[in-house]
Amino acid sequence: MTHDAKRVALVSGGSRGIGRAVVKRLAAEGHDISFCYQSNGEAAISLEKELGELGVQVLARKVDVADADSVRAWVAETQETLGTVDVAVTAAGITRDNPLLMMTDEQWSEVRSVNLDGVYNVCRSVVFEMMKRRSGSLVLISSVAGVYGHATQSNYAATKAGIIGFGKSLAKEIGRYGIRSNVVAPGFIETDMTSVLGDKIRDEMLKSIPLKRFGAAEEVADLVSFLASERAGYITGSVFQIDGGITI
């Protein structure tokens, strides 16, 4: 830690799944939390209640990460009420799977807007204050699909690969300001996103995973927590796969 004040963590898509586990983990470590969600207010409210018991400050906002103005306003409000953001985690993401010939222009652009523009919007908004403070950690959630590709996910995989290029470029660009930028690429993790997979696909995937199970969101949160912290002070520009070995 480079300053005495409480650390502030901002998490996009923090109300469910991996983002929610990250929020809970960072709050348990004492971070004040600002998180956003898109539409599921109930999940956000239940998380706010859980965090209330930890005695940290919490700001929960309904923000579409694809909308640059809304993200700017959310980050500005976070900075005003909680202070400069020390850690930004971009977990908001969606899938709209289809083989290329069936893919609609909307499916392509919606995934791009949320998954890629959303990451740009968050990082673009938090980085200037981090530069002034000369410290900060960005943890961007990609996917193994962005490293290896995945049939029927050309839209999703393109955004997740884009996040890797974006995160590495930032590491080179803003490392001199004491800001680290790392990417986490999960495999199959038990969340609402993967709960829609049919039993047949699930069984097929399990066959290819050496550890013979899907991962838990909390396991991804452990890795994010490490990367966010000063324990990872000499790590930047790296891509960390957490996938039970599926990509071996």
Q: Can you give the binding site for ligand NAP, defined by CB under 6 A?
A: 12-13, 15-19, 36-40, 43, 63-66, 91-94, 114, 141, 143, 186, 188-189, 191-194
Closer by beta carbon to ligand NAP, 135 or else 189: 189
Closer by beta carbon to ligand NAP, 6 or else 202: 202
Between the CA atoms of 62, 217, 112 and 85, what dihedral angle is there, to the nearest 10 degrees? 50
The reply to whether 156 belongs to the active site is yes
Question: 3-state DSSP call for residue 35?
Answer: strand
Closer by beta carbon to ligand NAP, 16 or else 31: 16
Closer by beta carbon to ligand NAP, 135 or else 168: 168
Cα gap 135→179, rounded to integer Å:
5
The structure tokens listed for 55 are 């005695």
How near is the Cβ of 1 to ligand NAP at its closest, in Å? Answer: 27
Q: Say which residue the tokens 């109930």 belong to.
A: 42
Cα gap 110→108, rounded to integer Å:
6
* Cβ-Cβ contacts under 8 Å for 180 (sequence gap 6 or more): 136, 137, 138, 171, 227, 232, 233, 235, 236
How near is the Cβ of 85 to ligand NAP at its closest, in Å? Answer: 16
- Active-site residue, selected from the candidate residues 37, 120, 148, 156: 156
Cα gap 233→116, rounded to integer Å:
26
Closer by beta carbon to ligand NAP, 114 or else 174: 114
Question: 3-state DSSP call for residue 32?
Answer: strand
* Cβ-Cβ contacts under 8 Å for 93 (sequence gap 6 or more): 13, 114, 115, 118, 141, 143, 159, 193
Contact 80, 28 (CB under 8 A): no
Catalytic residue list: 156
